[in-house]
């Protein structure tokens, strides 16, 4: 019951509730955009890894195809897998071709090199580079995007 001169607080409660709902909706949208950004970043990195491997392979071929290392124009020495002619799966191989990738880190796992996003679980979001097993076979570059569900979260 409202008496003369007394104001209702109902409109204030309604406005506060609407603002609260808008904030919740905005947070969900921002979270979805962040997951999409991570997904795009990891897929872009996969393309860069493929291009870097092809660049080093072309340099190796142009130098006679018989060396275990090539020197790129930036004076970076890249270790080459002699069987396939592509960069080795380690920090002096494929990682050496890509020295300035910001926002990613690498893990040398022995048979492969794994690139992951900083701040995201490596098991949910990564690019794995592995050299081929027969002469001349291109490397395998695989993308794990939350077990390929597509949001790297």
- pLDDT tens digit sequence for 81-120: 999 999 999 999 999 888 788 888 888 888 899 998 888 8
Please state, in angstroms and as integers, the Cα–Cα distance from residue 46 to each residue in 8, 73, 116, 127, 142, following that order.
Answer: 60, 22, 11, 6, 7
Rg for the chain, CA atoms, rounded:
25
Residues 6+ apart with CB under 8 A from 84: 131, 132, 134, 135, 136, 137, 138, 139
Task: Collapse the DSSP code of 3 into the 3-class scheme (helix H, G, I; strand E, B; otherwise coil) and give the result.
Answer: coil
Q: What residue segments make up the domains of the chain, in order of their start?
A: 10-145
- pLDDT tens digit sequence for 25-81: 555 655 556 777 777 888 888 999 999 999 999 999 988 888 888 888 767 889 999
Do residues 138 and 132 touch, judged by C-beta distance below 8 A? yes
Q: Give pTM, 2 decimals.
A: 0.75
């Amino acid at each position: 019951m409202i008496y003369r001169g007394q104001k209702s607080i109902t409109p204030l409660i309604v406005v506060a509730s609407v603002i609260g709902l808008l904030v919740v909706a905005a947070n969900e949208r921002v979270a979805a955009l962040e997951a999409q950004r991570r997904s795009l970043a990891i897929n872009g990195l996969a393309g860069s890894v493929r291009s870097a491997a092809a660049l080093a392979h072309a340099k190796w071929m142009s130098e006679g195809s018989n060396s275990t290392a090539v020197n790129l124009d930036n004076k970076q020495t890249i270790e080459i897998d002699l069987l396939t002619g592509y960069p080795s799966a380690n920090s002096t191989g494929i990682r050496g071709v890509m020295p300035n990738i910001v926002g990613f880190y690498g893990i040398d796992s022995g048979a492969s090199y794994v690139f992951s996003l900083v701040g995201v679980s490596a098991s949910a979001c990564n690019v794995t580079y592995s050299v081929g097993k027969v002469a001349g076979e291109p490397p395998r570059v695989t993308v794990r995007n939350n077990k390929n569900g597509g949001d790297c979260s």
